[in-house]
Amino acid sequence: MVMPDLAALVPVAAIEVPSFQAVPWGPLALTTGLCLAIAACIIATGWVQRTGVALGADEAGRWNLIFGVIGLVLLAGCVTRVPWVVPAVAPCLAVAGMLFIRAKDAGLPEGRRVLAKGGLRNLAAELRPHVAPWTKGAADRGPPRSLKEQVTDLIGGWRRRLTGTTTKTQSGKRQGKAVASAEAFSFLKKDGTVVMTISPGGKSETRVSPHVLKAQQLLQSIIRANAATLSFEPADNRYDVKAHARGSDKSLEKIGSDEARGVMATLKVMADMAGTDADTSRQGTFGVLLRGVRYQIDVESTGPATAERMLLRLKRADAAQHQRGLESLGFRPKVLAQLREAVSRPYGMLLVVGPSGTGRTTTLYAALRELDARKRKIMTVESPVQQPLDDIVQIEVDLAGGATVASVLQMVMRKDPDVVMVGDLDDRKTCEIAMQAALTGHFVFATFEARDTIDALTRLLDLGVEPMLVQTAVTAILAQRLARRLCPKCKVPCEPPEALVRKFNLKPGAIKHIYKEKGCDACGQTGFHGVVPVHELLVMNDQIRKLITAKPSARDLKAAAVLSGTLTMQIDGLTKVVHGDTTVNEILRVTG
């Protein structure tokens, strides 16, 4: 049987397949390449302009010019259809990009560098605000995210914008902005005026130099470590940057001399420090704001420009600290009563002695708050003013302008105040003016550098102050130190040493246990958190005054002080060991 021809039975329509020969593939490809080149140039120049400000105004301008020229050459090659332009420009663009990233990385911390571990993630985080502008600020939320997470969020952002949908990510974006604002780091002038605000990502509304970013990094480090001071010490061709956290020095890093001088110059500008005399100590003050907390930074610079030393003192300037009185400073009840009685007298002098950084000025401020400033005229002479005090006239000595504490103090005494506070008695003339004021109906508060109360008396005489002035002007001397306080969350009991039992002349078993440090997350594994003050108060009496001569015997003075009821700093510290506030080793360290 012969099968019929199906093709003949079923008519098939002719199908015309387009050849696309009429489509202008060349111009279309050229237009697409041109659009991509323009988009790439816009993204690249925006990235360079935004991140290049960390290199400084001049350097950022040069990089912007370089990348601008490369972009123009690339665009010109696409427009004129010169085939060799793209192969020639691409290596130039790659080399310029690597050099730019290398220069920019030099002023950034390790965790934000592109040419480092995790650099691809950091580069994506930097480019993301330019590829997707609505995500600007997202990098400041939480910990750094992986490259996969960033790409996923980028695709999701494009999808939401195309579909017009709203998700929780958008509300999270608004929360992220609030978090970024709270985490921002601000430099403040002394009067509280904001100079510059830097976001957690190291970005600023104004141009930021690498030295400013380095200063921000170091200040954030000492704030997080709860350190009291930050010092720049020259050593060969570099500087050793150290943080002092109440009894322990920690070397943060070693930086080159040029970078260190740039950072110190930045800090001096912030603190409005002037003067170039190498033999004069230059001082200034500025503030920083971090997580809503304001900190005061006192800056002191000494030495020539080639070997300059700088010391920064950090203080938390919150209202609660400013308003506290003597009862909050850890005095024993008997010492507190004696101190209050001394400062309530109509005339006389209270000396607070100890090394620098032991809280002397804090104690004087607390003593001033014991007085009624509305009934008594109170004035201070400081360099610089440490804290603002209500209803008290505070005068800052302009040492850079040629003023001295003695000259300003003489001017203040012409105003006839009832109470005057002098920041530091560091020379004979200032001591004599202050003591004469104490003898003529004024009460004088002052600080003085000495080891203890007896050493303060002998040092005053060594300065050349007349024994008669010291005998009649000084009412009381308070010596103090700051020991590290045991962390209440991890301190552990231990057996008291026999030396401690003998020191207090106690019976065996009278002290069941004392405490020692252990270390936990709350205290940074140090075992200590905060400070506990140690005091020694000497109230002058007739017996002690009789012993003050041109060359007094320190032994006789100490014996008379003990007979009058004075407890040494070491004894006061050991009582706080018994109470579980600190350790024996810590008291021995601070009292010598």
In DSSP notation, 36-51 reads: HHHHHHHHHHHHHHHH
Instruction: Pick the most confident of 89-93, 185-189, 261-265, 273-277.
Output: 261-265
Annotated domain spans of the chain:
25-155, 188-317, 323-482+533-570
DSSP class of residue 453 equals: H
Range from 495-499, 515-519, 540-544 carrying the lowest mean pLDDT: 495-499
Residue 113 confidence (pLDDT)? 67
Q: Please state which architecture CATH assigns to domain 188-317.
A: 2-Layer Sandwich (3.30)
Range from 37-51, 74-88, 174-188, 404-418 carrying the lowest mean pLDDT: 174-188
Range from 36-40, 270-274, 458-462 carrying the lowest mean pLDDT: 36-40
pLDDT of 532-577, one tens digit each?
Answer: 899 999 999 999 999 998 888 889 999 999 999 899 998 899 889 9
Mean pLDDT of 217-241: 85
Alpha-carbon distance of 171 to 260, in angstroms, equals 43
Asked if residue 150 has pLDDT above 80, the reply is no
Residue 508 confidence (pLDDT)? 72
Residue 480 confidence (pLDDT)? 94
Asked if residue 172 has pLDDT above 50, the reply is no
Mean pLDDT of 281-299: 83
The better pLDDT of the pair 478, 122 is held by 478
Q: pLDDT confidence of 420, banded at 50, 70, 90?
A: very high
Range from 2-16, 91-105, 180-194, 439-453 carrying the lowest mean pLDDT: 2-16
CATH of domain 323-482+533-570: 3.40.50.300
Percent of the chain with pLDDT strictly greater than 90: 22
Q: pLDDT confidence of 302, banded at 50, 70, 90?
A: confident
Alpha-carbon distance of 551 to 105, in angstroms, equals 62
Residue 176 confidence (pLDDT)? 43
Burial class (CB in 10 A: 0-12, 13-18, 19+), 480: buried
Residue 469 confidence (pLDDT)? 93
pLDDT of 368-411, one tens digit each?
Answer: 988 888 889 999 998 878 777 888 899 988 776 778 888 999 99
Percent of the chain with pLDDT strictly greater than 70: 73
Range from 161-165, 388-392, 468-472 carrying the lowest mean pLDDT: 161-165
Residue 243 confidence (pLDDT)? 84
The better pLDDT of the pair 542, 303 is held by 542
Cβ-contact 71, 45 below 8 angstroms: yes
Instruction: Pick the most confident of 97-111, 283-297, 308-322.
Output: 283-297
The better pLDDT of the pair 320, 363 is held by 363
Range from 60-74, 109-123, 145-159, 429-443 carrying the lowest mean pLDDT: 145-159
Alpha-carbon distance of 228 to 90, in angstroms, equals 52
Q: Single out the residue of 289, 288, 290 nearest to residue 298, CA to CA.
A: 288
| H or E stretch covering 395 | strand 393-396
Q: pLDDT confidence of 432, banded at 50, 70, 90?
A: very high
**pTM score of the predicted model:** 0.59
Which residue carries 């005489």 as its tokens?
Answer: 461
Q: pLDDT confidence of 442, banded at 50, 70, 90?
A: very high
Residue 151 confidence (pLDDT)? 62
Q: pLDDT confidence of 271, banded at 50, 70, 90?
A: confident
Alpha-carbon distance of 132 to 260, in angstroms, equals 38
**Cα distance between the two ends of the chain:** 124
Helices 257-270 and 210-224 pack at an angle, to 10 degrees, of: 80
Q: Single out the residue of 225, 305, 228 nearest to residue 260, CA to CA.
A: 305
Q: pLDDT confidence of 466, banded at 50, 70, 90?
A: very high
Range from 147-156, 222-231, 269-278, 579-588 carrying the lowest mean pLDDT: 147-156
Burial class (CB in 10 A: 0-12, 13-18, 19+), 166: exposed
Buried b (16+ CB within 10 A) or exposed e, 250-260: eebeebebebb
Residue 203 confidence (pLDDT)? 54
Mean pLDDT for all residues in the chain: 78
C-alpha angle with apex 467: 464 to 472, nearest 5 degrees? 130
